[in-house]
Amino acid sequence: MSPALSFPAAYPPKQGLYDPANEHDSCGVSFVADLTAVPKHSTVELGLVALECLDHRGATNAEPNTGDGAGILTQIPDRFYREVIADLPPVGYYATGIGFLPPRDRSPDGVVKVKSAIEAIVEDEGLRVVAWREVPVDPSGLGHQALDVMPSFWQLVIASPVHDGTPLAGVDLDRQAYLVRKRIEHEVSATSGHQAYFPSLSARTIVYKGMLTTAQLSTFFPDLADERFESALALVHSRFSTNTFPAWPLAHPYRFIAHNGEINTVKGNRNWM
């Protein structure tokens, strides 16, 4: 048994898989996977439990219900989406992601303009918009700082045109969705006058994240509590930034990773050297 830790930390000696040299501050990351590769809601639940256990790794300020960021990456829960979105193509033949669009209460026409700009990009890249779905959220537990800058949340589903004899799927569709997402980031603000951000846009994975504490994620996005929301993996992250302000897009995970360090300081250190 490891000795009790005092403050300042008196770390246990190196033993088994534990090495005190790996002790670091800030952020928290966890990964859950089902070795049978069968999508289950219990895997998502375990990921959310692991996330809440990382609460001490996440930042808040004087307003304890405004967090620095928390999120989860899972496989696309096809069974769930198929029951809440009509006319979905077969699994793997559609890409989807949750867009952070302008808040409707402060910018009534912003969502319409941004959607129109996004749809033009999707069509220009040879794809089609299958559906838009407004993602249900419960912001009742959020602090004023998070609420003041909260976007609206819209799930976009895209796929190959229905007349395409060889529709894109899997990685091939992901490549095309990547082009769509990058163009959205760089072009939508210029054409619509409003910002749009997609944490992910993929045929394989989906990201739910925000300017939240670890405990707020599962209640803010009711999708995550639905029994039909299934995955064989869950990557979760609790953010503690030491040199940037919190923001909805800056929460982790990202599209493939959840890094656990201040990457932007690496560039600064190299420049100084």
In degrees and rounded to multiples of 5, residue 49 shows phi and psi of -65, -45
Residue matched to tokens 């992910």: 200
Catalytic residue selected from 1, 23, 27, 65: 27
Tell me, yes or no, if 53 is annotated catalytic.
no
Q: Quote the tokens at residue 251.
A: 């929460």
Whether residue 239 contacts residue 263, with contact meaning beta carbons closer than 8 Å, is answered with no
| Distance of alpha carbon 102 from alpha carbon 122, whole angstroms | 19
- End-to-end CA gap in the chain: 43
Q: Quote the tokens at residue 59.
A: 């930042």
Task: List 210's β-bridge partners, or say none.
Answer: 70
Half-sphere exposure at residue 158, Cβ-oriented, CA atoms within 13 angstroms: 31
Q: Quote the tokens at residue 133.
A: 């779905």
Residue matched to tokens 């692991």: 50
> By three-state DSSP, how is residue 78 classified?
helix
Catalytically active residues, by annotation: 27
